[in-house]
Amino acid sequence: MKTPGSGFKLISTVLNLFFPQNCIYCSRERNGGGEYLCCDCFSDIGFIQDPMCFVCGVPADISYDLPGVEFSCGVCRQSPYQFDRARSLGHYDTVLRQLIHHFKYRKQLGVLSDIDGLLEKYFSGCGDDYMGFTVSPVPLHFNKMRERGFDQAFLLARQVADVLHAPLESALLRRVTATSAQATKTKFERAQNIKGAFEVNRPDAVEGKKVLLVDDVFTTGETANEAAKILKKAGAQKVYVFTLGRVVVGKGQDSL
Ligand SMILES: [Zn+2]
Ligand SMILES: [Zn+2]
């Protein structure tokens, strides 16, 4: 037989599912911090900082890289990306990974308020790096959007534009092919899979523009690379990429 205590526990579990009182990462009481994370977990999200590749933003591996002022990684030297620069807020692991999962797969859009706090903090340290840029999401295919119910890259791009006080162009590109999941593919397979997936919607809105493409996670960079290629072909002056999370070899692999 149920005790009053277990009934209460059930209600609080259900409530916690929709309006979490406890931290979504460590399950302790939030006690300040964000809407979904406690103070400790919030401050555990470390930003990716120098030394990193000045093009793709991968953190330098000091065991074999020799980071200089403008250090570029092996991948960028061997097969340069079409974008001019990519940066990610933090590593796609532990707390940040959990936050992105709650947002993307569990559809808890309230997590965006915590993400907003992170974006404010991150971009306040970027000076004028994004001055004059138009913010645009890496587009999701319509089928995917219907399946998921929302477009995570658009929601993030809108927040980034807000934080940077930059214009938002939600449809510079459109996704014309529904690509299969990238998660288990190699860098080469990802490049093949994404080839031809984008088209420019309005060439007049791209010509001469500096575009900041926004997405949730950077894995091998092939999706951003293909989008940048199409934007550059249409006359974009510069293409920068920003993602919340960055997969670095050996860390969480289940992304884009
Ligand atoms: Zn916590
Ligand atoms: Zn690089």
Look up the pTM and report it. Answer: 0.86
Q: What is the DSSP letter of 49?
A: -
CATH of domain 47-246: 3.40.50.2020
Residue 2, pLDDT score: 45
Q: What is the DSSP letter of 105?
A: T
Q: What is the DSSP letter of 171?
A: T
For the CA of 43, the nearest ligand: 1
Q: What is the DSSP letter of 170?
A: T
Model confidence at 149, pLDDT cuts 50, 70, 90, reads confident
Q: 50 CA to middle of ligand 2, Å?
A: 13
For the stretch 34-88, pLDDT in tens is 889 999 999 999 899 888 999 999 988 766 666 666 788 888 999 899 999 999 9
Q: 231 CA to middle of ligand 2, Å?
A: 20
Q: 239 CA to middle of ligand 1, Å?
A: 36
Q: 174 CA to middle of ligand 2, Å?
A: 26
**How do 85-91 and 238-246 pair as beta strands?**
parallel
Determine what percent of the chain is predicted with pLDDT higher than 70. 84
pLDDT tops 50 at residue 253 = no
59 pairs with which residues across the strands?
52
Residues with CB under 5 A from ligand 1 (ion): 23, 25-26, 38, 41
Residue 180, pLDDT score: 66
CATH 3.40.50.2020 location in the chain: 47-246
Q: What CA–CA distance (Å, rounded) separates 144 from 227?
A: 17
Residue 166, pLDDT score: 97
pLDDT tops 70 at residue 17 = no
Q: 77 CA to middle of ligand 2, Å?
A: 7
Count CB atoms within 10 A of the CB of residue 54.
18
48, HSE (Cβ side, Cα atoms, 13 Å) = 26
